[in-house]
Amino acid sequence: MSERLDLQRRFFAEEVQAVCNLRTPQLVEALATVPREAFLPPGPWTIRAEGDYGGPPRQTPDASPRHIYHNISVAIDPARQLFNGAPGVVAMCIDALGLEPGDAVLHVGCGRGYYSAIIAECVGSSGRLTAIDIDPDLAAEAAAGLASRAHVEARQGNGVEGIPAAAYDAILVNAGVTHPHEAWLRALKPRGRIVLPLTFTMPQMGAIGKGVIAVLRDTGSPESLEARVLTMTAIYSAVGIRDAALNDKLASAFMHGAWPVFTRLRRDAHEAAPACWLHGEGFCLSA
């Protein structure tokens, strides 16, 4: 069974690589070797896939780990309907960070730590990973699951407070936010990268927000970062670090129906103009 599961993981990794056009070899290898089941509650598992849109989640037939090596989301807390995200989407986000051995990474919204383990494998023992989750139980589960990796620190927090300046080559945010927080922008090293979901919420949507995943990249200029849209997303909203006014601005921008167009994150002071897709205090996503 162990050998067959190893083959299943390898096929799973190569399928995600092919479908998502992954370009980071160490990411594909991590998908093929990190046991997803080690970062989940005991099976059978509650799962969701694209075919379940609009309906209830499903259950795996039994507790065999082979059922979770597909491009599906798996519940990490079924009672609260909290899911470990679909590998195709999260792997695409990790790939966009362009991780290399030795990189220092901040992972905000780490859940029980599966994708943190993937990132840890990408940066290797010469790298460093700080994994944070707002939920104390999930943070404790992540800390336990990642304990064997000496270059990983997992802890509870909101992902904004206590973040040191110029400390990270890459930041992955795994919860919907309304804007790139100043703490994250300050935390980037030269040529640093951030991937984060920019989402709006409405009362009828509950904890789920909709929007886009954005990629930001430092270019050495104090006044701007490169910015682009990676893909659309629907994701759980971050707790305690969203801005209500920017949520309304995001909702208005998306309600116009146009695909978001921005090429940079401006940091200079300026008045809102037609080229400003999302204009906030201290930042502006602009065409």
Sign, CA torsion 88/215/153/79: negative
DSSP string, 105-161: EEEES-TTSHHHHHHHHHH-TTSEEEEEESSHHHHHHHHHHTTT-TTEEEEES-SST
> How many angstroms separate the CA atoms of 271 and 105, rounded?
33
281 pLDDT higher than 90: no
**pLDDT given for residue 146 in this prediction:** 98
Q: Quick one: which of 280, 61, 59, 80 has its CA closest to 185?
A: 280
Q: Which of 2, 64, 73, 221 is catalytic?
A: 73
CB 51 within 8 A of CB 70: no
Predicted structure pTM score = 0.96
Is 64 one of the annotated active-site residues of the chain?
A: no
> Phi/psi at 242 (nearest 5 deg)?
-95, 155
> Phi/psi at 281 (nearest 5 deg)?
-75, 115
**Tens of pLDDT along 13-58?**
999 999 999 999 999 999 999 999 999 999 999 999 988 877 889 9
Percent of the chain with pLDDT over 70: 98
Both tokens assigned to 244? 């209500």
Task: State the pairing for strand pair 208-218/128-133.
Answer: unpaired
Per-residue pLDDT band at 203 (split at 50, 70, 90):
confident
In this structure, which amino acid lies at residue 34? V
The 3-state DSSP class for residue 217 equals strand
Question: Domain-by-domain residue ranges, the chain?
Answer: 2-286
Sign, CA torsion 40/45/49/52: negative
In this structure, which amino acid lies at residue 234? A
64-68, 238-242, 257-261: the lowest-pLDDT one: 257-261
What's the whole-number mean pLDDT along residues 268-287?
A: 91
**Of 69-83, 108-122, 199-213, 252-266, highest mean pLDDT:** 108-122
Per-residue pLDDT band at 2 (split at 50, 70, 90):
low
CATH code reported for the domain at 2-286: 3.40.50.150
Percent of the chain with pLDDT over 90: 85
